[in-house]
């Protein structure tokens, strides 16, 4: 090799930090670097991965004038710098440390910068001051999350301070507190006589998420001074002190017994007493009203002993040979406690001097009576025997007629069968075509099955051989079925409809099914449309329910009539066991049994709360054709044999499936801290001609369709919303949901609720099997001229969270009833067909699939795309599809409908280092 001097030039562009970009020239001699001794070929080094952040910058607050430091650390990283508000921070302002990880041998770089109050205050714009860390390696760049830097403060004035109250014993007390505005938000604690209240130590206290203090049942010991304290990293503020006085109104004891009259004979009096000690008045409570002593006059008379009158004359001699006489104790009769007369009232004796004797009944009379009884019994026995004999003779030739068996044999015409006419039946079978059984196609799976005709292996069919029954399939064609016999039910089992296999044979059948569905379903909770291989989107407006049909899911040349509907009947919801809860609406998609070549995506809302712990075991359940609910898959336990995949989000889920039917989510609580969301909504009448005013409080599962249904129902009833709906976290603690009304103006209104509160049982609220669960408070006004009402309603779980509604309404005649526009009235499109239904253009989708489906050695293929989009919980599902990228993009479309941000998708591709896919995407967009 020839020796010499070589020069070269090195340019640093993307890999360089601020202040280092540019080109550098240098020259070396081959002898100096030993080129003569190098081999002709070199082993290739393994590709360096993208940087991974070991530490990302955290949110920070500037207290007074103290600057804050932001830190980040990444590996492997050749360079690492901060970017604040989209501008690079100068290299001189960085503090960078470098070391080599002993385990991996990769370079670890750590950078920090200092942010001052002046820098934050000089920023103008709607967004807060933010910084982001960017790390470089030979594989590309990685950006950390944005960390915002804010100036901390806490205002001096409370938005609302607690007010003192005087309450009765065991009354519920509400002390409200809204802390001053501040950054970060102030933490609130309550003081009772300058001691911190801890609800864990005294369960009679409860602090709501809105920082209000609730005393569940006021006790005498709760009489105290209460203070709301707000504090953050800047300062600590105290509200004015609110004094709560728990008073006890006095109550009378029971009356004593009446005393004896103080005079034994003549005029006197007697009395009874009671005391104001049950309970005694305390803390300014009212004293007892009324008298503590009652007196009655008494005038006891002197006692008079009774004296006998003279004996009467003897009576005539009677049949018993006696006569008698009597006397009375009446001259005078005993009075006023006097003694009765002593002796007998009647006196009798023999009036024949013993010559007349009483005679006993003769034995002949007894025999006569016994004979009469025996004769009557024999006559009854003979009558019964004769009646049975006559009945059997008249029915000896009786043959049972089948008069009307349509309820048993599936709607056959009346047939009278006699033994003497069996031969006629064999030669001329009855005409059954006019009452033929109908098999209904896929769309009828949505309808009520109460009108379907049951087909069983009934023995009534045995005497009728070779029947030909008309069976109507989904295409509207009539198909004769021969020799049904005992296999009648099995031959009517639903199979793949002809219209799903041959598009041209059943256009009229599908149209009939669609028209029937429109007639029988509420259009507000149903979406229908015709779709080809170009795909599309079905949306049930304002319900959070939709069906995405990707392009290519329907075979080429086919057109399907598809639908999605929300089932609102309680009997359509699955029954649940203890600890289980229905977490989503029941959604039906169809047609069932449709032939699909790639997964469709069903989107629905749910009400489960995820806080990073494994509190829920969530199952997808599906309703079979026999109306039985069956387990399909447990979320998080998908494998190669499960028929679908579920992507869970905070408020919704996306079900990827190739099997259509009726399904919903059911959750099993795994701990007492498992939580579901409730939506609370309060309604009242627009007008109130009567003296009574009814307030309805609905406790719903927090899904869009539940609130939409109540809004529609209240609109029909002429109701109006009295306050904005609120969300309540309801835990699996077995505690009930308690509702109470407070601060009713007692001079204008009175509550007709006898108890202090109402409660909804825990299981009724938790399971979610009953829709539109609500309680009603009835108030009565004292005068018809009263048209204003202001009060508070508290809804909380016992030993749990709660919400307070401030009601301030007017009973105006010209008020309008509520409008369902509360739920995005612009969303009235139910069907999107073809490429317009998708955010990603077809050409860009094809290029992305062609570029990312093939595995890459650097790993920046469809697997990294799933990771960047947080869709990598179960990659094996996508790996089993012919185009994993296509399924991931379908899921992205469903997640971000209708306003998917293509710019964010392009940013993900940039972070992956896939510039080959990024450039055309940006151009065509």
896 close to 888: Cβ distance less than 8 angstroms: no
- At residue 396, φ and ψ (nearest 5 deg) are -65, -35
Torsion of CA 570, 573, 577, 582, to 10 degrees: -100
861 to 439, 638, 848: CA distances (angstroms): 49, 23, 10
pLDDT of residue 407: 34
DSSP-assigned beta bridge partners for residue 656: 601, 645
Alpha-carbon distance of 795 to 772, in angstroms, equals 16
Does residue 633 contact residue 620 with C-beta atoms inside 8 Å? Answer: yes
CA distance 456 to 887: 44
Q: Write out 816-864 in H/E/C secondary structure.
A: CCCCHHHHCCCCCCCEEEHHHHCCCCHHHHHHHHHHHCCCCCCCCCHHH
Coil, strand or helix at 893: helix
Strand order, beta sheet including 536-540: 644-648, 652-657, 600-605, 545-549, 536-540, 831-833
**Tens digits of residue pLDDT in 143-185:** 999 999 998 999 989 999 999 989 988 889 999 999 999 989 8
Reduced to 3 DSSP states, what percent helix, strand and coil does the chain have, rounded to the nearest 5? 20, 30, 45
**How many angstroms separate the CA atoms of 72 and 62, rounded?**
19
Task: Read off φ and ψ for residue 903, nearest 5 degrees.
Answer: -65, -40
Return d(Cα 908, Cα 902) in angstroms, integer: 10
Tell me which residue of 159, 202, 163 sits closest to 179, measured CA to CA.
159
DSSP secondary structure letter of residue 308: B
CA distances (Å), 94 to each of 71, 114, 174, 202, in order? Answer: 10, 8, 53, 52
Tally Cβ neighbours within 10 Å of residue 652: 19
Euclidean distance between CA atoms 18 and 630, whole angstroms: 61
- Alpha carbons 308 and 329: distance in angstroms, whole number: 4
Exposed e or buried b for every residue in 365-403, given b needs 16+ CB within 10 A? Answer: eeeeeeeeeeeeeeeeeeeeeeeeeeeeeeeeeeeeeee
Element spanning 390, H or E: helix 363-394
- Alpha carbons 815 and 685: distance in angstroms, whole number: 10
- Positions in the chain whose pLDDT score sits under 70: 1-46, 125, 354-366, 394-522, 612-613, 813-827, 914-925
Q: Residue 314 phi/psi, 5° resolution? A: -65, 145
Beta-sheet pairing, 560-567 with 600-605? unpaired
Cβ(717)–Cβ(696) under 8 Å? no
If one counts every other C-beta atom within 10 angstroms of the C-beta of residue 62, the result is: 23
CB-CB contact of 131 with 70 (8 Å): yes
Question: CA-CA distance, 742 to 554, in Å (whole number)?
Answer: 58
Beta-bridge partner residues of 48:
none
Q: Give the span between the Cα atoms of 82 and 17, in whole angstroms.
A: 10
CA 580 to centroid of chain Cα atoms: 11
pTM attached to this predicted model: 0.53
Question: Which DSSP string corresponds to 15-33?
Answer: T--TTT-EEEEEEEEHHHH
DSSP annotation string for 78-108: SEEEEEETTEEPPGGG-EEEEEE-TTT--EE
916 alpha-carbon distance from chain centroid: 47
Residue 881: Cβ-neighbour burial (10 angstroms; 0-12, 13-18, 19+)? middle
| Residue (of 453, 508, 664, 499) closest to 591 by Cα position | 499
> What one-character DSSP code corresponds to residue 735?
P
Query: What is the predicted pLDDT for the residue at 582?
Result: 93
């Amino acid at each position: 090799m020839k020796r010499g001097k070589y020069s070269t030039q090195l340019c640093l562009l993307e890999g360089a930090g601020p202040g280092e970009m540019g080109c550098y020239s240098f020259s070396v001699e081959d002898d100096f670097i030993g080129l003569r001794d190098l081999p002709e070929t070199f082993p290739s080094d393994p590709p360096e991965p993208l940087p991974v952040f070991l530490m990302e910058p955290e949110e920070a607050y500037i207290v007074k004038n103290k600057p804050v430091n932001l830190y980040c650390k990444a590996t492997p990283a050749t360079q690492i710098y901060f970017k604040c508000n989209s501008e690079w921070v100068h290299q001189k302002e960085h503090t960078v440390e470098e070391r080599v990880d002993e385990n991996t041998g990769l370079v670890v770089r750590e950078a920090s910068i200092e942010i001052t109050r002046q820098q934050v205050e000089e920023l103008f714009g709607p967004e807060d001051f933010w910084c982001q860390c960017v790390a470089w390696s030979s594989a590309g760049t990685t950006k950390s999350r944005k960390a915002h830097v804010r100036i901390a403060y806490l205002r001096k004035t409370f938005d609302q301070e607690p007010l003192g109250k005087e309450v009765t014993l065991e009354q519920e007390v509400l002390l409200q507190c809204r802390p001053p505005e501040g950054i970060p938000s102030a933490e609130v604690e309550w003081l009772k006589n300058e001691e911190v209240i801890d609800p864990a130590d005294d369960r009679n206290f409860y602090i709501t998420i809105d920082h209000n203090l609730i005393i569940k049942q006021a006790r005498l010991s709760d009489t105290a001074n209460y203070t709301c304290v707000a504090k953050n990293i800047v300062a600590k503020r105290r509200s004015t002190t609110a004094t709560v006085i728990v008073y006890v109104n006095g109550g009378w004891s029971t009356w004593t017994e009446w005393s004896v009259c103080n005079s034994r004979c003549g005029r006197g009096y007697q009395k009874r007493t009671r005391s104001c000690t049950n309970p005694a008045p305390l803390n300014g409570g009212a004293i007892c009203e009324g008298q503590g002593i009652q007196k009655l006059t008494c005038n006891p008379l002197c006692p008079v002993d009774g004296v006998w009158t003279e004996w009467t004359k003897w009576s005539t001699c009677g049949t018993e040979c006696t006569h008698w006489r009597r006397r009375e104790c009446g001259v005078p009769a005993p009075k006023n406690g006097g003694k009765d007369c002593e002796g007998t009232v009647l006196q009798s004796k023999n009036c024949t001097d013993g010559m007349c004797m009483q005679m006993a009944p003769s034995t002949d009379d007894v025999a006569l009576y016994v004979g009469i009884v025996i004769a009557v019994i024999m006559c009854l026995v003979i009558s019964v025997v004769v009646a049975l004999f006559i009945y059997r003779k008249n029915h000896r030739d009786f043959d049972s007629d089948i008069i009307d068996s349509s309820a048993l044999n599936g709607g056959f015409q009346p047939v009278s069968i006699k033994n003497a006419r069996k031969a006629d039946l064999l030669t001329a079978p009855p005409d059954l075509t006019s009452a033929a059984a109908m098999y209904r196609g896929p769309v009828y799976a949505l309808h009520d099955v109460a009108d379907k005709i049951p087909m069983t292996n009934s023995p009534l069919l045995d005497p009728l051989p070779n029947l030909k029954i008309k069976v109507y399939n989904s295409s509207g064609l009539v198909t004769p079925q021969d020799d049904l016999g005992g296999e009648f039910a099995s031959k009517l089992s639903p199979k793949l409809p002809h219209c799903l296999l041959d598009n041209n044979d059943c256009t009229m059948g599908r149209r009939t099914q669609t028209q029937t569905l429109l007639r029988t379903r509420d259009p507000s909770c149903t979406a229908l449309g015709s779709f080809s291989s170009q795909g599309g989107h079905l949306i049930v407006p304002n319900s959070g329910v939709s069906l995405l049909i990707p392009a290519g899911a329907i075979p080429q040349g086919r057109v399907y009539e598809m639908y999605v509907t929300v089932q609102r009947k309680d009997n359509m919801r699955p029954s649940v066991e203890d600890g289980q809860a229905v977490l989503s609406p029941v959604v039906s998609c169809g047609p069932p049994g449709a032939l699909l070549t790639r997964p469709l995506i069903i989107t629905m809302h749910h009400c489960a709360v995820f806080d990073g712990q494994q509190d829920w075991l969530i199952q997808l359940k599906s309703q079979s054709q026999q109306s039985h609910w069956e387990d399909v898959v447990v979320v998080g336990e998908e494998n190669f044999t499960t028929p679908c995949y579920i992507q869970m989000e905070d408020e919704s889920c996306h079900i990827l499936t190739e099997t259509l039917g009726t399904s919903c989510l059911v959750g099993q609580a795994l701990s007492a801290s498992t939580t579901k969301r409730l939506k609370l909504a309060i309604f009242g009448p627009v007008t109130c001609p009567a003296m009574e005013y009814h307030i309805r409080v609905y406790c719903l599962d927090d899904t869009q369709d539940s609130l939409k249904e109540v809004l529609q129902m209240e609109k029909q009833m002429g109701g109006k919303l009295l306050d904005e709906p609120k969300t309540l976290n309801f835990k699996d603690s077995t505690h009930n949901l308690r509702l109470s009304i407070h601060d009713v103006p007692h001079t204008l209104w009175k509550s007709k609720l006898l108890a202090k509160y109402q409660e909804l049982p825990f299981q009724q609220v938790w399971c979610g099997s009953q829709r539109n669960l609500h309680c009603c408070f009835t108030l009565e006004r004292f005068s018809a001229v009263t048209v204003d009402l202001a009060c508070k309603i508290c809804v909380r779980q016992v030993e749990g969270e709660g919400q307070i509604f401030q009601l301030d309404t007017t009973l105006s005649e010209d008020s309008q009833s509520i409008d369902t526009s509360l739920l995005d009235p612009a969303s009235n499109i139910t069907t999107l067909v073809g490429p317009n239904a998708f955010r990603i253009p077809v050409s860009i989708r094809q290029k992305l699939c062609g570029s990312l489906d093939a595995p890459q050695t650097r790993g920046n293929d469809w697997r990294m795309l799933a990771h960047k989009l947080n869709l990598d919980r179960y990659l094996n599902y996508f790996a089993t599809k012919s185009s994993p990228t296509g399924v991931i993009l379908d899921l992205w479309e469903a997640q971000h409908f209708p306003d998917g941000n293509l710019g964010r998708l392009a940013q993900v591709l940039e972070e992956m280092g896939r510039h080959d896919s990024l450039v055309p995407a940006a151009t065509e967009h």
